[in-house]
Amino acid sequence: MGVVGLLNLLLTAVVVLLCLATPAVTRLVGSWMNLGLQGYEVWRNPQIYLIGAQPLCTQIAGLSPGQTKLCQLYQDHMGSVGRGAKTGIHECQWQFRHRRWNCSTVDDSTVFGPVLQIPSREAAFAHAIASAGVVNSVSRACRDGQLSTCGCSPARRPKDLNKEWIWGGCGDNVEYGYKFTQGFVDVREREKNYKRGSPKQGRQLMNLHNNEAGRRAVIRRTRVNCKCHGVSGSCSLITCWQQLAPFREVGDLLKDKYDGATEVKINRRGKLQVKHPQFNVPTAEDLVYLDESPDYCRRNNTVGSLGTQDRICNKSSQGMDGCGLLCCGRGYNSQKVKLHERCHCKFHWCCYVECKTCTRIVDLHTCK
C-alpha cells in the first residue's frame, strides 16, 4: 500500500470516528415562510420549475401536508402568500435592524435558521409578522381582482360614517384575507396531535396564538379611507371604503407587542397560562413566548446565534444600536471610510438635474 492509500485509509477512519462521535442531529423542520424566499421565485418563474413536471406545490420545501393541499387547491393565491411572507420578513428586518438579533435569514427552508426553533419572544414576533404579511397581501389581491374566489371587501358601512358620504368603491378584503390566512398558516399546527401538556404542544399553541395576534394587528390598523369627487375639487361627492394601513404601521404595532410580550407555560391540562401570576393574562392581540431568548451576543452554532461581531454600531447612542449594548460590552473597532454622495444639485430648465459628487469621510464603528 502506497502513501496515498495509507492516507486514504486514515482519512476514512477519521471520518467514521467523527460520525460515531457526533450525536444524532435533530433535523430542522422547514418553514412555510420559505414561500417568501424560494417559493417566491417559483411563482415568479413557474416555467422553470414546471420542467420537472412535478406539481409546483410539492417543489417548495417547508410546506406541511395540509399546506401543500391548500397550495394545490388555491394555486392562484400562492403568489400573494409568498409576497406576504416576504413583506413580513422585510418588515421584521427593518424593525430589528439595530438589535442583537436582526431577523437575518439563512439560505435554507427553515428561513431563520435554528435560532427560531427556540420558542422565544423573537420567534413570537416572526410568526406574527409573517402571518400579518399574508393577511395584508391576500386582502389587497382580492381587491385588485387577482384571485378567483374573492373580490372587494364585504364590510358593512360603519355606523358613525357621515350620512352624506357614500359607502362604495372597492375596499381591501381583510375579511377574506383573515380567513384564508387562518386556514393556510394555522393548518400546519393543527395537523399534529402532541401529548397534552408536552413542550411540543406548548410550541404549537404558542404559534397559533402569535399567528392570530399577527392577523389581528392588520385588522386593528385597517381604516376607512375617503375621497372627494366633483367638478374641480368641489367635493360635492364623497365616497369611502375600507383600506389597509401601510404595512409599517402593522410592524410598529407588533413591535410594541413584542416589547410587552408575555411569558407563558403549558400546564398539565394542555393550556397556556401566564408564567408569573403578577402579569396580566394576554389578549388575543398580544404576543406570547415560552422560553427566554438565547444569548445573541456571541456566535453559537448550536443554538444558531450569529453573534454581533462586525455589526455596525452607533458610538453616540445609549440605545440598543449603541456600541455599548450592541457589542455586549466587548468594545468596538473604528475606521474611517469615504462616502461618495451626490451634492450641489442644480435643476436645469427643462428638465434634468445635474449634481456633483462629494466625498465625505465618516467614522465607522463595528463591534469587536
Ligand X SMILES: *[C@@H]1O[C@H](CO)[C@@H](O)[C@H](O)[C@H]1NC(C)=O
CB of 145 vs ligand X, minimal distance in Å: 35
CB of 320 vs ligand X, minimal distance in Å: 11
Q: Please, which residue, 52 or 331, has the CB nearer to ligand X?
A: 331
Left, alpha or beta for 53 (phi > 0: left; psi -120 to 50: alpha)? left
The helix (run of H) or strand (run of E) holding residue 338 is: strand 332-348
Q: Please, which residue, 292 or 354, has the CB nearer to ligand X?
A: 292
Sign of CA dihedral 55, 60, 66, 72: negative
Q: Which three cell numbers stand for residue 73?
A: 387547491
Cα–Cα distance, 183 to 121 (Å, whole number) = 24
CB of 365 vs ligand X, minimal distance in Å: 10
CB of 331 vs ligand X, minimal distance in Å: 16
Q: Which three cell numbers stand for residue 87?
A: 413583506
Q: Please, which residue, 42 or 103, has the CB nearer to ligand X?
A: 103
CB of 316 vs ligand X, minimal distance in Å: 5
Q: Please, which residue, 282 or 304, has the CB nearer to ligand X?
A: 304
Looking at residue 308, its amino acid is T
Cα–Cα distance, 180 to 186 (Å, whole number) = 10
Q: Please, which residue, 77 or 100, has the CB nearer to ligand X?
A: 100
> What are the residues facing 347 on neighbouring strands?
353
CB of 303 vs ligand X, minimal distance in Å: 5
Task: Give the binding site for ligand X (CB under 6 A).
Answer: 93, 97, 102, 104, 294, 298, 300, 302-303, 306, 308, 311, 314, 316-317
User: Any residues with CB less than 8 A from the CB of 276 and at least 6 apart, and which?
Assistant: 263
* Angle CA 283–289–292, to nearest 5: 145
Q: Please, which residue, 79 or 304, has the CB nearer to ligand X?
A: 304
Cα–Cα distance, 89 to 129 (Å, whole number) = 7
